[in-house]
């Protein structure tokens, strides 16, 4: 019997699989681009091919899976919004058949990212935290009393659908003015374009307007071209990082990647904002304030002491965190709420694998139902 846990991280841009030691260290990992427009069996065959490449040893301790939602939980029939080929796909059942006789546990990918930060990242020691990712979407997971909060259907912590502007843009969930609709990377770039933003050429400063000062909050490193670097565990990361080299292997920081077409990307937007472009700055301020308002609601409701934020957009530094903090402090007036800290996520691209593995390795805190 091996003491390694097989971890699987499934997203709209990449599938990842890894072997994780009991202390949370990823000792081997493989990644592959998610097939664009793949049907159910194409997606499944991509995953099984990835597992064949990883070649887990016989008798792994269990299998942990993070996957985009919605899903039936804990049964694990998945219908990820960004993978149309899987609708009610029995992912957990299929993997349990491939790995019989051991625990096979699945949860929302954003919850796995929150678990990773609480278990081995910036949230260690916190009894009450929200782990967030801001990338192609906005997701999160709640830790209260030192344990993951599942909710009635496994969807607790879905902070991306907290309404921050009732008259705001339509959201993919069918509502209007959700945090995700305002702050997700592609939506943010689209808003800037509608305001007249003209992206500056890659590698050069500026965009619509003349470059301005690049001091705080403008002094910020734009999101990297791809995912997190597992050799740099102390750096802000993602699950949901942005953007990628169109299906290439991850490098740099970030975690889960997403492809962005052309030059009108959130990465370019952050670079132009750092150079002083007024529309790009306004876009980053808009996203930061929306995040601060949503976080304030979560803090006032759940009495949180910590919020971690990962994802490609989080790498914009003060451009995002400055207006976030301003809005947060405006809306957390009670003493208990003012103590909350908001910090960058600490784990790199392996965060999704670490969190998925924790469902098995640290199941006393991060898993409650089923096998």
Q: Which of 188-202, 213-227, 274-288 is most confident?
A: 274-288
> How many alpha carbons fall within 13 Å on the CB side of residue 149?
18
E-assigned strand segments in 117-265: 128-134, 138-144, 147-148
pLDDT at position 207: 63
pLDDT score of 262 = 60
pLDDT tens for each residue of 212-232: 333 333 333 434 333 333 223
Q: Tell me if 46 sits within 8 A of 35, measured CB to CB.
A: yes
pLDDT of residue 319: 95
pLDDT of residue 208: 63
**pLDDT on residue 206:** 57
Highest mean pLDDT among 8-12, 219-223, 228-232, 281-285: 281-285
Say yes or no to pLDDT of 257 above 50. no
pLDDT digits (tens, 9 = 90+) for 313-343: 888 999 999 999 999 999 999 999 999 999 9
Predicted confidence at residue 43, as pLDDT, reads 98
pLDDT tops 70 at residue 75: yes
Q: How many CB atoms lie within 10 A of CB 42?
A: 12
The label of the residue with tokens 């930060």 reads 117
pTM: 0.82
pLDDT band at 235 (very low <50, low <70, confident <90, very high): very low
347 has pLDDT over 80: yes
- Checking if the pLDDT of 237 tops 80, the result is no
The chain-wide mean pLDDT, for the chain, equals 85
Q: Residue 228's pLDDT is what? A: 32
DSSP H stretches of helix in the chain = 40-54, 91-98, 109-120, 179-183, 185-194, 266-274, 278-302, 318-331, 335-338, 351-361, 363-366
């Amino acid at each position: 019997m091996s003491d390694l846990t097989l971890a699987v991280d499934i997203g709209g841009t990449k599938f990842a699989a890894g072997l994780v030691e009991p202390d949370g260290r990823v000792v081997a990992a493989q990644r592959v681009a998610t097939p664009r427009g793949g049907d159910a069996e194409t997606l499944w065959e991509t995953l099984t091919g990835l597992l064949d490449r990883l070649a887990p040893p016989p008798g792994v301790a269990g299998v942990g899976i993070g996957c985009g939602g919605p899903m039936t939980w804990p049964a694990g029939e998945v219908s990820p919004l960004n993978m149309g080929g899987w609708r009610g796909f029995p992912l957990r059942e299929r993997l349990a058949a491939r790995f019989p006789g051991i625990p096979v546990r699945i949860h929302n990918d954003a919850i796995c990212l929150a678990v990773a930060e609480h278990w081995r990242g910036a949230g260690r020691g916190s009894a009450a935290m929200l782990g967030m990712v801001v990338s192609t979407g906005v997701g999160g997971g709640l830790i209260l009393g030192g344990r993951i909060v599942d909710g009635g259907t496994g969807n607790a912590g879905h902070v991306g659908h907290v309404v921050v502007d009732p008259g705001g843009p339509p959201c993919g969930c069918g509502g209007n003015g959700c945090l995700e609709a305002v702050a997700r990377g592609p939506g943010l770039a689209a808003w800037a374009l509608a305001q007249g933003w003209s992206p500056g050429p890659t590698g050069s400063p500026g965009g619509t307007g003349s470059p301005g000062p690049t001091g705080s909050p403008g002094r910020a490193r734009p999101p990297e071209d791809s995912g997190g670097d597992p050799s740099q565990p102390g750096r802000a990361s993602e699950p949901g990082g942005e953007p990628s080299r169109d299906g290439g292997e991850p490098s740099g920081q970030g975690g889960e990647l997403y492809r962005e077409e052309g030059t009108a990307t959130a990465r370019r937007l952050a670079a132009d904002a750092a150079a002083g472009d007024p529309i790009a700055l306004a876009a980053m301020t808009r996203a930061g304030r929306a995040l601060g308002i949503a976080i304030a609601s979560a803090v006032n409701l759940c009495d949180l002491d910590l919020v971690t934020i990962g994802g490609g957009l989080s790498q914009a530094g003060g451009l995002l965190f400055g207006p976030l903090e301003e809005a947060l402090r405006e809306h957390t007036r009670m003493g208990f709420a003012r103590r909350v800290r908001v910090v960058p996520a600490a784990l790199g691209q392996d965060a999704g694998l670490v969190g998925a593995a924790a469902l098995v390795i640290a199941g006393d805190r991060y898993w409650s139902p089923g096998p």
